[in-house]
Structure 1
């Protein structure tokens, strides 16, 4: 039963990785098209907002795909890659909201608190990972 679960999970993650890769390729193509439109458009500020939004969206897709690639090599999801994607996503929303001047003060505080929690979670996951690596090294040196 465990073998079936592992195979199904691997297939599902492989399909997700294919779709994420296609999304990254399409997003990169759209980014180049947006750059061409930016040269032709008179409203540079609005075009620049779309370019920044697309670049940050690509960062989120890249972080998620890194997480899936790591799953195939280690057979577990690393929390740091997922938290990185969440941080980039929240930063994307903050930057777009601030650039458009449509972000209310209470939302800025809420998103700042969320970024603080995500940052602390990332730092904590790195510390825990380094501790486990150090413990593994210590036990292998004693053997």
Structure 2
């Protein structure tokens, strides 16, 4: 058997197992979120809200990881945007949990905010310079035409004008 085919089969099998584990985690996380409603009713609103925020953000992290594994399963590649989205959600969850528990100092919150800024810049750059995006040829259009019309309509108008003159 070819080693590349064996590698592909093993990675497909492992990613499928991870998908089922993440699906189970998603169902359990949703059930836990619904059960956390009791903290709002039985305990203080602050404690219940802390449990709800933690549970909901955790479910969002699992959803994002699920999306990344599905995308890997379909396209055989991991998108940088999916990983940065999951990491941003993890950092946001930690900030929310730490701020509600009041256990973080300002230095730690500032470092997490810096990490969020770097991840946000990375996310924007990953979208802007995506390799999956097809590059369209650049068409030079005079400035006066750019103000009134853009894109293909300028080309069509030029073609129609020259075609009508002939």
The answer as to whether partners of 2:80 and 2:126 remain within 8 angstroms in 1 is: yes
Secondary structure (helix, strand or coil) at the match of 1:133 reads coil
Give 1:5 deviation, angstroms. Answer: 0.5
- Of residues 9, 20, 41 in structure 2, which corresponds to 1:18? 20
Distance in 1, Cα, partners of 2:35 & 2:87: 26
Change (3 A) 1:132 1:18: closer
1:141 match: none
Q: Report 1 or 2 for greater relative contact order, CA contacts < 8 Å, sequence distance ≥ 6.
A: 1
Distance in 1, Cα, partners of 2:119 & 2:61: 15
2:120 match: 119
Distance in 2, Cα, partners of 1:127 & 1:113: 21
Gaps spanning 5+ residues in structure 1: where? 139-143
The answer as to whether partners of 2:39 and 2:47 remain within 8 angstroms in 1 is: no
2:159 match: none
TM-score, structure 2 as length reference: 0.77
Aligned residues: 135
Q: If each structure's helix is expressed as a fraction of its own residues, which one has the higher value?
A: 1
Query: Where does structure 1 differ by over 2 angstroms across 4 or more consecutive aligned residues?
Result: none
Root mean square deviation of aligned Cα: 1.4
Secondary structure (helix, strand or coil) at the match of 2:78 reads coil
2:133 match: 133
Give 1:132 deviation, angstroms. Answer: 4.7
Give 1:71 deviation, angstroms. Answer: 0.9
TM-score, structure 1 as length reference: 0.89
Distance in 2, Cα, partners of 1:32 & 1:132: 39
Secondary structure (helix, strand or coil) at the match of 2:61 reads helix
Between structure 1 and structure 2, the one with the greater Rg is 2
The answer as to whether partners of 2:39 and 2:51 remain within 8 angstroms in 1 is: no
